Structures are given as structure tokens and as C-alpha cells.
Chain A
Amino acid sequence: MEWLIGLQALLQATVRMAAPLTFTAVGETYGERAGVINIGLEGLMLIGAVTAYAVAFASGNVWLGVFAAGLAAATFGVLFGVVTITLGANQIVAGAALNLIGLGLSSFIYRAFFGSVTNRAIQPLETVKIPLLNQIPVVGPVLFEQNLLVYAALLLAPLAALVLNRTMLGLALRSVGEHPKATATAGLSVIGLRYAAVAFGGMMAGIGGAYLSVAYANQFVENMVAGRGFIALAIVVFGRWSPLGALWASLLFGFTFALQLRLQAQSIPIAYQFLQILPYVATIVAMILLRGQSAQPKALGVPYTERT
């Protein structure tokens, strides 16, 4: 029975590690379906992480922190929109700049306000057990003994899929990333739709980052996102630009995070640095396996101008 308990702990950690990736990747899926690629997810997550931590620390309310993180990152998402959608700048370059801003700004805020604070921990987000369902063997503890943000991430993906595939808004978003001019001539605002998509993408990345500081580590650490923003970009491709695909891919990558932690704890004779590489190696392998498969939106990364 011991192996079963081990498996259960591994899977529980998998879901925990997948949640921030899911938020970020689902948000980015929307942005990319609308035709805007934002490689600045890492920076947005850091902004979310530091905002959530600072607000939660100051107010004592974790949820206020999460809310503020979403708002702050959405604001940066809109700024990214001004540069790329309105001004038509190169999306890759603007995204790279966003990463640098996120890294610098989050570290600066943290040092400026918390450099001299001694007790920096905040109240952790508590685990909410869902009665009855958590009694199911293995699955119960894995899926139904988690914090509320994990539940939110698990519900976000199907909800986002529903909106994308079964609403007029989703139809408009899918159109605008494939053929923006057709969308415009049908009577929709390409600019408006893209702003909405990048703002949503920013908000989700912010919440993904908030998860790391308030639900996972209970504190902020400089550069604590540690490449998860880039992994989320790979997840969008791996999930073939669908929200549910992003959820499955997040769980897969969450598993590699959980596995390397588990292996470290087992004190097996491999240097921990090698184990830590695991999620990143998995990313590269995944991208190689997916080469040549293209479900990519046609107009991805192409600025739209109303020239006729």
C-alpha cells in the first residue's frame, strides 16, 4: 500500500504544480487564437506573484492579493496591446521587453518594500476538502483536497473551451486570429477583440503568478517563476491552441515538476541539478515531437492595419 500513497502524493503535487501553468496557458491560448503572441508571460507572472504577495501581506487577505495580481498583470497586458496592436510593434520584441520589465520590477518592488522585513511569510491558502468526493480512493485526495485556486484552474479550462467553441464571442476570437480582415468586414472590431484577448491573457498570467507566491510558496522569491511562463508558451502549442489541450499539457508538465521533487526527496544518487532540468527537457522533447504539426492561427504575430 505504500506505493499507492506515494502515487497519490505524486499526483496531488502534479495537480498543484499544473494549476499556475493552466491559468497562464489558457489565457495565452485566447490571446494567440486572437492572433497576438505574448512571449512576456514570464514577466507577467512575476508581476502577478509580487503584487499578490505584497497586497496579501499588507491587507492580510490572500484573495485581495489574487485580485490585485490579476488586475496588475491585465494592465500590463493592455500596455503590451498598446505597443503591439495599436502601434503595430513586433510582438516578439515587445514580449521580450515585458519579460525584462517583469523581472526587474518585481525584484525592485520586493526589495524596496520587503528588504528589511524579517517575518515575510503570509498565511497560506488553505486546503478545502470537498466532502464525499474526497473519499474516492486516490482520485479523491488528488482532485478534491486542494486549495480554491486549484479548483478554479481545473474549472477554467472547460469553461474557456465552452466560450471559445460555443459562443459568438468565441467564434469572433477564432476568426480574428485566422483572418482579421474577414472579421472586420463582418462588422467586428479587430482591435477591440485583440485588446480583450490580451487583457484576459494578462489577467490569467497574473493569477498564475499569484498562485506561486500565495498558494505554493507563501512568500515571494526573486525570479520565482523560474521559466514557467516560457513553459506555458510551449503548453499552448502542445495543447494545439485549445483550452482543454492546455489543461492536459499543464498536467503533463506539472507531473514532471512533481516527479523531480519526489525524486529529490527520495535521495536517489543523481545530482539534484539534473532532476531540476526535467520539466525543461520535457518541454524541448515535446516541441520536437510536435514539429510540423500546425493548428497555429494563420494571423498569429501579424499586426493588423486597416489598409484597404
Chain B
Amino acid sequence: MTEQTPRLRLAGISKHFGAVQANNDIALEVAPGEIHCLLGENGAGKSTLMNILYGLVRPDAGAIFLDGKPATIRSPHQAIELGIGMVHQHFMLVPTLTVAENVILATRPLLSLRRLGESVIRDRRAIERQVGEVAQRYGLKIDPAARVSALSVGEQQRVEIVKALYRGVKLLILDEPTAVLTPQETSDLFKTLRDFTAAGLSIILITHKLHEVMAISDRVTVLRDGKVVGRRVTRQTDTHELAELMVGRDVRLTVEKRAAQPGAPALVVEALTVLGAHGRRLLDQLSLQVAAGEVLGVAGVDGNGQRELALAITGILRPDSGSITVEGKALTGAMPRQIADASVRHIPEDRQQMGLILDFSAADNFVLKQFSRLPFTRRGLLQPATILAHAQRLIRAFDVRTPSPALPVANLSGGNQQKVVLGREIDSNPRVLVAAQPTRGLDVGATEYVHKALIAQRDAGAAILLISTELEEVLALSDRIVVLYEGRIVGEVPGDRANTQKIGLMMAGVQAALQPVERWGTNTNEA
């Protein structure tokens, strides 16, 4: 690999934003036909580096070489001309346009009288055919005439890739490409990327997921605090070493926990049904029980009723039938406030949409569920001093990294935002905790923190319903695991005998995997 001229060489790239040194003297080499992972926690400087490469950010110092030639990249336009393509984490597609329109955007002169033929879109079908051919050549299935707003997330990602390929990309950057994909889509994507490299394309994959690095990359560069802290050939390293490099200390990838001491059933859900549009059964006669002092993990592919399950139990969504009982108290159809008063707490799956008011300070977010009561309100007036003291205590207790409790939580990192949610929800030692995707989008350090906090709650006697599409997480934390498929529980396995492959098959709805298992619930429908 050393004799070859690298496709990309970065030398001494530095960039600061205010007082923060986002990139510090970074060097990076990517060979033709290589998949190179850029590994690092949130805030390590991965995105800044790639934005520099794509011309979105100007570096303070450093040089970029493409195929041995020095390159100045001042705009995405120049990056594209040089054969650099980027698939952003949040897709850069115009939803109202068709796939083909998105792909050809800006690939020809806007309005040139001398080259009018190129500026005019004479025949849409011809362009759709052209885009379809490019997609097909690389084995990507998309409908060029479809409107982007009608596509699934996986399909939209394929459009982004086709967009880059159509522009004759030589170096493709993918920013956290699997964050939004199902396991099946992820493996499809990885297969596609392998095919690309066989054709000589170089790929930089930004990620913080260690198993992905091991699964797909040839080499890996690890960033921490804006600096390169390690370079490894993937074959010669392991997840443990990478995790340590990335976080800067010894990390346990497994969660240490004692055997559970389950008590009486705390949360009992019976035959819960939630109907969606056109009478579709989002939850279908679902029954489960969680005992005090245990973690029940709910595994499943996203969109099989996870959302509805969490929302129905916490009272945000009214079930169409079935019952919910918490410590013997019937709470079916109760208001969210009543359910919270019964000591049921909720870590919602989308902390930015449901968990927090982003423009509010950490202090205000901490009291969202109790601000109208003593001691936070007296004689109808909020008590800022009390609220502030409460916030300071929780910030210490939950290790929230923020310069001030008065700072809007929008300015905090994802991990610290989640700690604010955690602080609010578990400070009062709830009897039942519904944790939906509690570590989605968090880095290794923050994930470790959240996991420890959940286990601590379990040991304090809480019944924890863990709903997660990350199978690893379900396996690591749960005392029992149930699998959710199309709104029903299709199987149950004890946590300690968990069989990844079997759970995977159940998640995919493969009936053969469903051996008769001991179940508590009364799944009335045929299984």
C-alpha cells in the first residue's frame, strides 16, 4: 500500500472555532480502493475534518493532496469537481423533487445561452433513464421518477450515494451512514461499499460504532479531542483497543451487573391494542409484565410498535383496548400526569422532540414535570432560587457538563442532554421506568453512563422496560428479553441464555424461530 500514491493525503490540518481546537495538526492517508474508518466520539473533530475536505469549512492551516497533487478546496463545488462526494448524516435531498432531479441538480450550467441545450431539461424521461442506469451499474435499487419525500430512509441514502456516483466521485465520504438504517439495510450498504472499492473508489466512513469499524474497514484512524490518537490496520486491532483509544481510558463494553432480584410484578400490560390509520394494528393484543428490580428488554426492528408501546404505557397515546396496571393500580387511559404520579417515568426515544425543550435552560428542563408544585411554585409564582438549587444538585449528581444551569440545553452535547433527561426522570427513584432508545446517538462514554444509571435504578428496585432497536444494548442490560414484531410479542428468552441469532430471526418475523416458549402474557392470537 505504501508504494501507491494515496488517493487522499491530509497534512497538518488545524482548525479552531473560538477557543475550541476542533482539529489539531491532523494527518490522514487514504489509498485507492480503501475503506478507511474515521473513528471518534461526538465532538472529536470528525465532522469538522470532513467539512474541511468538502469545502464547507476553511482550515486555519494544513494541506490537502489528491492523487499526489496539492488541492485547494474552497467550496462544495470545487470538492465535487475534484471527485469528492459526501453523504451527510442528515440527508441533503430536496424532498419535493424527484430522485432524478435531486441527482442532476447543479450538474450542468444553470442558464447558459451558448450551451442552452445543456441548461434546458428537454426530456425528463431521458434524465430519469440516465440516473437509473448509473444506479443500476452500481447495483443500487432506486426509482428515479419517485419523489424523495415518498422514500424510506434507506432509499434516500441510496439516492445520496447515486448523487455522488453521478458526479464521478473518486473519494466518497459517509457521515454516520448506519445511524438511521435497520441491520438488514446496514449489511446491504456494506456490501455495496465493498463493490465500490473493487472498482477503485476510496471511501471514508465516519462512525463511532466499533463493530462497524471491524466489519467494513481496511484501516482506521482514531480521533480524540481534535487530534489523531491512533492509526491501525483493522485486521491487527480489536474493539477493545479501539474503544480505549477513542475514549482515552479503559472502557468496559459489557455492562457489569449482579443477578437480578425480581420482586412482585410492578408493571402489568394486558392485551394492549393500539390502532393506527386504516385500522392497522400498531399494537396487537400485547401483554407483558415487568417485576420490580428487573430489566425487561424489548428487542425488535424499528417501526414494529416500539413507539406506541412506550407512549401507551406513559399515557401519551390512548390505547384502543387492553389494560395497564402499575403496582396493582389500574391506569388504563389515565392522563400522563396521573401516570407520572404513580411513579412511572419515561425516557422518550427522541430527547430533542419529546424529552427536552431545547430553548429552555437545564434548570427549567429539570422541573418540567413538577414546576407547578411546591417547592418550585409558591402562591402561584415560580421560585427561581429553588429551581436553580435543584438544578445545581442534579448537574452534580448526574455529571452534566455545562458551563451554567441557565444555558439553553440546545447548546449541550447529546450525551449531556440525555443526562438532563435522566436526572429529571430517575432522581425521584421511580417504581417503573420506560426507557426508549436511551442511548440513541450517544457516544461510548455517555452510553456507558446511561447503562450504569439504568442498572443502578434496577438494583434500587425499579421495574425497567427497556425498548431498544440496538440489539447489543438489549443483550447487555436485560434480565429477560421479549421480541416485538408487527405489534406483537413473538418470543421471549431469558437474558442470560440470550441467543443473538435466534433473536435476530424473531426480529425478522421468521416463524420457524418461534419455538414454544414459556410466556406470562396471554397472547390470544395465534403465534
Q: Does chain A bind chain B?
A: yes
- Which A positions have Cβ atoms within 8 angstroms of B? 163, 166-169, 171-172, 174-175, 178-179, 181-188, 298, 306, 308
Complex interface: chain A residues within 8 A of B104 (CB): 168, 171
Taken together as a complex, chains A and B put the C-alpha atoms of A62 and B92 apart, in Å, by: 48
What are 30 A-B residue pairs whose CB atoms fall within 8 Å in the complex? A163-B111, A166-B121, A168-B106, A168-B107, A168-B108, A168-B111, A169-B111, A171-B97, A175-B97, A175-B105, A178-B94, A178-B96, A179-B94, A182-B93, A182-B102, A182-B105, A183-B94, A184-B76, A185-B56, A185-B86, A186-B80, A187-B76, A187-B79, A187-B81, A188-B77, A188-B106, A188-B110, A308-B51, A308-B56, A308-B57
With contacts A168-B119, A171-B104, A186-B76 known, is A179 near B92, CB below 8 A?
yes
Q: Would you call A183 and B96 a contact (CB within 8 A)?
A: no
Chain B residues with Cβ under 8 A from A186's Cβ? 76, 80, 92, 105-106, 163
| CB of B307 within 8 Å of the partner chain | no
- When chains A and B are docked, how far (Å) is the Cα of A308 from the Cα of B95? 20
For the complex with contacts A168-B106, A171-B97, A182-B91, 6 further pairs of A-B residues with Cβ separation under 8 Å are A169-B110, A172-B106, A179-B94, A182-B94, A185-B86, A188-B106
Instruction: Flag if A187 contacts B75 (CB, 8 Å).
Output: yes
B128 interface hit (Cβ, 8 Å):
no
Does B56 contact A168, Cβ atoms closer than 8 Å?
A: no
Task: Kindly report which residue of chain A lies nearest to residue B80, judged by CB atoms.
Answer: A187
B122 to chain A: closest residue by CB = A166
Which among A169, A182, A306 has the highest number of chain B CB atoms within 10 Å?
A182
Within 49-105 of B, Cβ neighbours of A (below 8 Å) are at 51, 54, 56-57, 75-77, 79-81, 86, 88, 91-97, 101-102, 104-105
| B79 CB contacts on chain A under 8 angstroms | 187
The answer for the CA separation of A185 and B108 in the assembled complex, in Å, is: 15
A276–B110 alpha-carbon span in the complex (Å)? 44
Chain B positions within 8 Å of A, measured between CB atoms, are 47, 51, 54, 56-57, 75-77, 79-81, 86, 88, 91-97, 101-102, 104-111, 118-122, 163
Which of B105, B108, B118 meets A183, CB within 8 Å? B105
Question: Would you give the shortest CB distance from A243 to chain B, in whole angstroms?
Answer: 16
A122 to chain B, nearest CB (A): 35
The answer to whether B105 and A172 have CB atoms under 8 Å apart is yes
Q: Which residues of B contact A183 (CB under 8 A)?
A: 94, 105-106
In the bound complex, residues from chain A placing their C-beta under 8 Å from that of B95 are 178-179, 298
Q: How near does chain A come to B74, taking the closest CB pair, in angstroms?
A: 12
Q: Which residues of B contact A168 (CB under 8 A)?
A: 104, 106-111, 118-121
How many Å from the CB of B294 to the closest CB on chain A? Answer: 44
Q: How far is the CA of A188 from the CA of B109 in the complex (A)?
A: 11
Question: Chain B residue with minimal CB distance to A162?
Answer: B120
- Closest B residue to A176 by beta carbon equals B94
- B48 to chain A minimum Cβ distance, whole angstroms, is 8
Contact B94 A175 (CB under 8 A): yes
Q: How far is the CB of A131 from chain B (nearest CB, A)?
A: 31
Q: A168-B110, A168-B111, A308-B51 are in contact. Are A178 and B121 (CB under 8 A)?
A: no
Chain A residues with CB under 8 A of B102: 182
Given contacts A187-B76, A188-B77, is CB(A169)–CB(B119) below 8 Å?
yes
In the complex, the chain B residue whose C-beta lies closest to that of A192 is: B110
Provide the residues of chain B in CB contact with A174, threshold 8 Å.
94, 96-97
Which residues of the partner chain B approach A178 to less than 8 Å between Cβ atoms? Answer: 94-97
Neighbouring B residues of A163 by C-beta, 8 Å: 111
Find chain B residues with CB under 8 A from A179 CB. Answer: 92-95
Taken together as a complex, chains A and B put the C-alpha atoms of A197 and B54 apart, in Å, by 27
Cα–Cα, bound, A308→B53 (Å): 13
When distances are taken between beta carbons in the complex, the residues of chain B under 8 Å from A166 are: 120-122
CA distance A174 to B86 in the complex (A): 22
Bound Cα distance from A167 to B101, whole angstroms = 11
Return the contact of B101 from the options A169, A171, A181, A308 (Cβ within 8 A): A171
User: Which of chain B's residues have a CB closer than 8 A to the CB of A298?
Assistant: 95-96
- Among A172, A179, A306: residue with most chain B CB under 10 A: A179
Docked CA distance A168–B91 (Å): 21
Specify which of A163, A181, A184, A186 lies most central, judged by the most chain B CB atoms within 10 Å of its CB: A186
With A and B bound together, what is the CA distance between A298 and B93 in angstroms? 13
With beta carbons under 8 angstroms apart, the residue of A167, A175, A182, A188 that contacts B119 is A167
Docked CA distance A172–B121 (Å):
12
Top 6 A-B pairs ranked by shortest CB distance?
Answer: A187-B77, A182-B92, A169-B111, A169-B110, A186-B106, A185-B92
Closest to A297 in B: B96
Interface-centre pick from B80, B86, B104, B105 (highest chain A CB count, 10 A): B105
Could you say which residues of chain A place their CB within 8 Å of the CB of B107?
168
A169, A175, A185: the one within 8 Å of B88 (CB): A185
Compute how far the CA of A308 lies from the CA of B107 in the bound complex, rounded to whole angstroms. Answer: 23
Taking the closest CB of chain B, its distance from the CB of A178, in whole angstroms, is 5
Contact status A171-B105, CB under 8 Å: yes
Given the interface contacts A171-B101, A188-B106, does A181 sit within 8 Å of B111 by beta carbon? no
For A168, A178, A185, which residue has the most chain B Cβ atoms within 10 angstroms?
A185
Minimal beta-carbon separation of A33 from chain B (angstroms): 11
A240 to chain B, nearest CB (A): 12
- Measured CB to CB, the closest approach of chain B to A221, in angstroms, equals 38
Name the residue in A168, A172, A308 with the highest tally of chain B Cβ atoms < 10 Å from its Cβ.
A168
Which residues of B have CB within 8 Å of A182?
91-94, 102, 105
Residues of chain A within 8 A (CB-CB) of B97 are 171, 174-175, 178
Q: CB-CB < 8 A to A185: which residues of B?
A: 54, 56, 76, 86, 88, 92
- Residues on B with C-beta less than 8 A from A187 are 75-77, 79-81, 106
Chain B residues near A306: list those with CB within 8 A.
Answer: 56
Complex: chain A residue closest to B118, CB-CB:
A168
Give Cα distance in the complex from A187 to B163, angstroms.
12
Q: Bound state CA distance, A269 and B75, in angstroms?
A: 67
- B86 CB to closest chain A CB, in angstroms? 7
Closest chain A residue to B123, Cβ basis = A166
B170 to chain A, nearest CB (A): 16
Q: Which residue of B lies closest to A166 (CB)?
A: B121
**Chain B residue with Cβ nearest A181:** B92
Which of B80, B96, B106 has the most A CB atoms < 10 Å from its CB?
Answer: B106
Q: How far apart are B489's CB and chain A's nearest CB, in angstroms?
A: 39
A167 to B120 alpha-carbon distance, docked (Å)? 4
A169 to B110, CA, bound (A): 4
Contacts of B88 in A (CB 8 A): 185
- Give, as a whole number of angstroms, the nearest-CB distance from A192 to chain B: 10
